[in-house]
Chains A and B, each alone.
Chain A
Amino acid sequence: MICSGFFVTSGEVEFCSANPILKYTQDDLSQRGVFGTLFCTNFRVTFISDEKPQEKTDKTFKNKLYGENDIPLMCVDHIYGVYDEKRKLITGGLVKNKYPSKMIIHCKDLRVFQFSLTFSKEEDAKKIFQGIAHHCLEEKSLKCVFAFSYMGTPSPEMQWKQETVMFDSPEDWTQEMKRTKANCRLVTENENFELSQRLPKYFVIPLTIGDLFSYQGKGLPIWCWSHYSGCALFKASFPPVTQEDGDFQKHLDTMINAVAHNHLYSVKTEDLSESLPNIQDIQQSYNKFKQFFLIENSTDFWLSDVKWFSSLESSGWLDIIRQCLQKAVEVVECLEKDNTNVLITEEEGTDLCCVISSLAQIMLDPYYRTLMGFQSLVQKEWVAGCHAFLDRCNHLHQKDKEYHSPVFLLFLECVWQLVHQHSPAFQFSETYLTVLSDSVHVPVFSTFLFNSSHHRESVMKAESPLAQSGPLSCPTVWDWSVQFDSKAQNFFFNPLYLEKVKHDRAVRKPHKPKHQRNLSLPSTAFKTPPKKGFFKDETDSLKKMLRVKRLSRWRGSPDAPAATTREFFESWQHRPLDYHGLLLPCLDGPAVHIWMQRYLRWIPEVYILGGGSVAVMTKLMELLSQVQDLKRVLEQRDSSQAAKLDHRPYFQHRLLSFDSSGRLSSSFPFAYTCYRSFKPIIPTGLMQSLMVTDSLASQEDEASSVVSFV
């Protein structure tokens, strides 16, 4: 039985447990491990070692909700059972018959756990195995998710949440429109979801849209962001297809006209379902990709090292990332260079539309590269914007695979590429992104549990455990104090980021756009401006596209990026880099990388002891703290002197505390110093790697290598 004080989180209930269970230590093949008890609760699968922990547990970067031997139920990806040396994927059916000698759990955050069930009583082993399989794999209802039992005490440190704009009130939207100088209309008619349950509670549309109810909640151009020139980015789902052809046409015309009216009668439309992989393609590709990082032992590791690059390529994941970034750059080009309104469309308008519009906004607007700005963007485009998190993340283990897809992760991946290429432009660190990607699978936050605003509101009202005391309030993920103390939260900040110096602020709102927005020429007087990609043919092609029944058109790699975007990128590249200005990614093969921290952090074979970028960061932090100390001393000595000192915003940085005892590994802060011996890891299976087949391999080094002695 679980001893008291075990539960980190209140509301946690134990389902079953077994002892002794052997947990294999990942490091080697020797089948060594630690004995302990395996529990399954309504929150997690957890292993508690019988031994006293030898490693120090006072890590700086510790998740308060779950530790290194805890797997939140939602975080379980697959379970494998080893039956007589054969590894089988556990699905509902297999559970009934037998329990395996060994259970392997693959987690969504890419950890791998291996437990031997052979040491405990048969009945216990069977129970724990069936329990875990049941709670982690079987379809369940939303109310079984731990968030509805969780009774975390609201923490005092709520500033995070408060500073993040939640976009759940008309004021938030008005403020955002004001910030970007948008000239659009805030819709409050959906406050009670009377227009549509799929639409956000509040949203913003072009001024010229009339009767909202005629849209039946579909095909409404929804405002995302306005460029300072006045043009804006809109997204829309497809108009209802059941309508007669004439209506459909009319609907499209109104939709596109409305967007065009926003600024200069120009619009470029982009059907994302046409030009990007669909959500099933994304799902398939990611499933393939993540497999390369779920490493069970070092033999596997070195075997997969052999064809590493071609394996990665075969998954197509990096290519999908590149395509999304490419598409976002195209959108950015329209807004920034051509000052054209852009309308992106998609069946539901809440998947790739979210990816592309958020990416474009990050590239264009430095506010979204701050931590609060980024969180607000996720709120605006994804959470309030009705991305179907519940279905896409498959939190309820539905068998119907059609709706699952790691779309949000894809977005984070793309952001990571930008962070990796232009680190000083971002206030947040890659650690922040990694933690955010993990948090999707922590069943505590309301952020990722629902399919839409309507869904969130109705469930929260109904599922409150204390129904009488008002609606349930789960924390949002932005309340980081639920997971990390403030010291650990310092790791979310990028020490290379420099805030823009205040007096430069005016630069953001530059030269007034030449044409004011409220031009209201009659729509019959449409003139196609002499720019490419304009209204008339654009609409035609969109109409055509929408009429064609869409099959999976995305296959293999797409065409090379359009020559025009290439030009756009090159001309941007030739200008001096301004981290507070427009930011574009380089999308050439060698420039697109793997998110090493997320994917390789649990694999001991790749830990570089005392190396990696953390080594440099440690040095930077040391120096920063010295400089801060000196500054303080100087200020104490003579405040008037200090005022004259440098005012560059170095000192707003939060200092990261690195463990100076022991050597850090490159996977810090996730994996700590290895206390293993200083032995190097020597690759195995090297010869398999190099099958140099041509005759060169057998040639002599020296053309004249006849040995003359003997």
Chain B
Amino acid sequence: MGTPLFIYAPSSVSHSSPLGALFVFPTLFYSSDKDIIYICPFNAAVKGKVFITNYRLYFKNTDSMPVTLDVPLGVISRVEKMGGASSRGENSYGLEITCKDMRNLRFALKQEGHSRRDIFEIIFKYAFPLSHGMQLFAFLSQEKYEENGWNVYEAMEEYRRQGVPNSEWRVTFINKNYELCDTYPTILVVPYKATDEDLKRVATFRSRCRIPVLSWFHKENHAVITRCSQPLVGMSGKRNKDDERYLDLIREANGTTKLTIYDARPNVNAVANKATGGGYEGDDAYQNAELVFLDIHNIHVMRESLKKLKDIVYPNVEESHWLSSLESTHWLEHIKLVLSGAIQVADKVSSGSSVVVHCSDGWDRTAQLTSLSMLMLDSYYRTLRGFQVLLEKEWIGFGHKFASRIGHGDKNHADQDRSPIFVQFIDCVWQMTKQFPTAFEFNERLLVVILDHLYSCRFGTFLYNCESARESNNVRAKTVSLWSSVNSDTSLYINPFYTPESSRVLYPVASMRHLELWVTYYIRWNPRIQHQQQSPVEQRYKELLVLRDQYLKKLEELQLSDSTPSSTHLTNSSTPNAATPNQHITHLQTPF
């Protein structure tokens, strides 16, 4: 029963010894002197040793069953003692560890001499360093990479790539000290005609001062995606002339007749938000705008949905009513709503109309919608580098509250602020890569690695809630970026089928007929569910690529050895991409 229990090891770096040469100073805190039993839900109880470093919990079997566990401590959301000193029954005394990545771990110990006290306390302390006044592991890691991932995203460079600034849109440094909005980045792009004073006045009318700013600019029709938070309309239905004028400036920039405002929330929730001072853009106040609700639910609904999903896939996949159980989690329906919202945004923009996207605060659903629609519209974001830029810009830069949503290093597992919004977004991206297997330069492995390090705390990339917090904690200087690791070995993350098509808008089909559960992520711990490391097509394709290179090399050698002029036609047909496939096919038709 030698099943590896992880499909993608959370670290992309191989490590030969249990504790790894991964980090320069691995600090070992715990090593079990007696056997601890790992109660594996797929096999049976496995005897082995547990090692805990400042980064990970490692389990290695000592009996015949070859089982290892390698769990970054950051993944742990909760540790509990199970059973007491007097509990009866086999393996009833021990620890139960709940993880953020769709699994639970149970260990049993001998009921003698408080055997679990040390291990419990060490896990509790180092899995939740922030709750114990300590630093996250990312600040202790001394990994070195050839690439510096912190240089992947430069805001100015990215805006320039989009064609901004220009006569319609300008760059403002008004937020360079986070004075306008503490959850926004320092560099913002706003309508050319809006003055900094205007921005300040608009900020008073937008929740948390998150004013509408440019996310993406359509080079041909000059339509834009702008993002913001809800207007502070309140119960009394307040209006703000500056805000109204500001939205009109966005509309005017490319002569859009009607600006479309996509409110990600369900209508009722938007109305309910008025009670707490929020709300939505009313018809009479914003006459040149059309408001569309996208009916995407809030972070609490999403959290419960994923929890239900975990219930039906871990440890065992629901047997008898799989499809209706899956439906009852609503997880794929939420995916459908997010994707169809993004499709609508992308469609509007590609038809030449500018849009404003917001939800309540503009850092959860808004980030999902803007980044997904940008992924549909702009093929650059479908490259390995471009996708990193997209995440850095729309999620990290614009203040998706990673610290609150994930709860890095925090013991408060029941915190209502936690929610898998980013996981849901990555799932949407995965759905798109499934539907368009040749349109993305990166592969599924990258998506899984991103989600693994969303929790692991090994890299600084997903730490903290916003730029200002990252800056004050000196994240760029003191931690390593995930992209340093990824970009140092890109071959792992490249999709061999990638075919660049620059001007193509990618509209996925947001129908349950096509949406699938991401089995290789959510059910990856289950050895029964088949997941091939590499799809057979991909394997075959790679073999053929190797073969082609061999042939090309041979041909080159032959051509070098004789330099007759007749070799011209050979050069021609040996250039891999020169001939169109059809030409090849027609004269290569093999008869039956």
Q: Which of chain A's residues 454-505 have a Cβ closer than 8 Å to chain B?
A: 486-487, 489-490, 495-496
Residue-wise, chain B 485-521 has the 8 Å CB interface mask toward A (1 for contact) of: 0000000000001010100111111111110010100
Judge whether B301 and A159 touch: CB under 8 Å: no
Is A560 positioned at the interface, with any CB of B under 8 Å from its CB? yes
Count B interface residues, CB 8 Å.
Answer: 110
C-alpha gap A254/B57 in the complex (Å): 63
Residues of B contacting A249 with CB < 8 Å?
A: none
C-alpha gap A630/B586 in the complex (Å): 16
Residues of A contacting B298 with CB < 8 Å?
A: 696-697, 699-701
- What is the predominant secondary structure among interface residues of chain A facing chain B? helix
Given A679-B347, A705-B276, does the pair A590, B519 have CB atoms closer than 8 Å? yes
Residue of B nearest to A318 (CB): B323
C-alpha gap A685/B233 in the complex (Å): 28
Q: Which of chain A's residues 677-696 have a Cβ closer than 8 Å to chain B?
A: 678-683, 686-687, 689-690, 692, 694, 696
Is B588 positioned at the interface, with any CB of A under 8 Å from its CB? yes
Shortest distance in angstroms between A252's beta carbon and chain B's nearest beta carbon?
A: 34
Stretch in contact with the other chain, from B157-165, B387-395, B576-584:
B576-584
C-alpha gap A111/B177 in the complex (Å): 63
C-alpha gap A529/B13 in the complex (Å): 53
Residues of A contacting B269 with CB < 8 Å?
A: 697-698
Stretch in contact with the other chain, from A63-71, A180-188, A410-418, A601-609:
A601-609
Residues of A contacting B552 with CB < 8 Å?
A: 630
Given A309-B324, A496-B536, does the pair A625, B295 have CB atoms closer than 8 Å? no
C-alpha gap A568/B540 in the complex (Å): 29
C-alpha gap A204/B307 in the complex (Å): 57
Residues of A contacting B554 with CB < 8 Å?
A: 634, 641, 645
Given A611-B437, A682-B347, does the pair A586, B529 have CB atoms closer than 8 Å? yes
Judge whether A620 and B541 touch: CB under 8 Å: yes
Is A98 positioned at the interface, with any CB of B under 8 Å from its CB? no
Shortest distance in angstroms between B493's beta carbon and chain A's nearest beta carbon?
A: 18
Is A573 positioned at the interface, with any CB of B under 8 Å from its CB? yes
Judge whether A707 and B277 touch: CB under 8 Å: yes
Judge whether B582 and A633 touch: CB under 8 Å: no
Given A574-B2, A654-B590, A701-B360, does the pair A619, B529 have CB atoms closer than 8 Å? no
Given A611-B435, A696-B298, A701-B361, does the pair A570, B528 have CB atoms closer than 8 Å? yes
Residue-wise, chain B 533-554 has the 8 Å CB interface mask toward A (1 for contact) of: 0001100110111011011101
Residues of A contacting B588 with CB < 8 Å?
A: 625, 628-629, 655
C-alpha gap A67/B187 in the complex (Å): 60
Contact of A608 among B327, B435, B544 (CB under 8 A): B435
Residues of B contacting A627 with CB < 8 Å?
A: 544, 547-548, 551
Is B563 positioned at the interface, with any CB of A under 8 Å from its CB? no
Is A308 positioned at the interface, with any CB of B under 8 Å from its CB? yes
Is B272 positioned at the interface, with any CB of A under 8 Å from its CB? yes
Residue-wise, chain A 577-614 has the 8 Å CB interface mask toward B (1 for contact) of: 00000000010111100001000100101111111110
Residues of B contacting A655 with CB < 8 Å?
A: 584-585, 588-590
Is A702 positioned at the interface, with any CB of B under 8 Å from its CB? yes
Shortest distance in angstroms between B300's beta carbon and chain A's nearest beta carbon?
A: 4
Judge whether A313 and B333 touch: CB under 8 Å: no
C-alpha gap A594/B349 in the complex (Å): 35
Contact of A309 among B300, B323, B340 (CB under 8 A): B323
C-alpha gap A699/B528 in the complex (Å): 38
Is A538 positioned at the interface, with any CB of B under 8 Å from its CB? no
Is A287 positioned at the interface, with any CB of B under 8 Å from its CB? no
Stretch in contact with the other chain, from B90-98, B167-175, B314-322, B447-455:
B314-322
Is A161 positioned at the interface, with any CB of B under 8 Å from its CB? no
Residues of B contacting A591 with CB < 8 Å?
A: 529-530
Given A657-B582, A689-B336, does the pair A615, B436 have CB atoms closer than 8 Å? yes
C-alpha gap A706/B401 in the complex (Å): 17
Residues of A contacting B323 with CB < 8 Å?
A: 309-310, 312-313, 318, 589
Contact of B361 among A609, A619, A702 (CB under 8 A): A702
Is A709 positioned at the interface, with any CB of B under 8 Å from its CB? yes
Residues of B contacting A489 with CB < 8 Å?
A: 592
Q: Which of chain A's residues 507-546 have a Cβ closer than 8 Å to chain B?
A: none
Is B352 positioned at the interface, with any CB of A under 8 Å from its CB? no
A-B contact pairs, 5 of them (CB 8 A): A310-B327, A634-B551, A637-B570, A646-B547, A702-B361
Q: A574-B2, A596-B513 are in contact. List 6 more A-B contacts (CB 8 A).
A: A495-B540, A589-B317, A611-B437, A697-B269, A697-B297, A705-B360
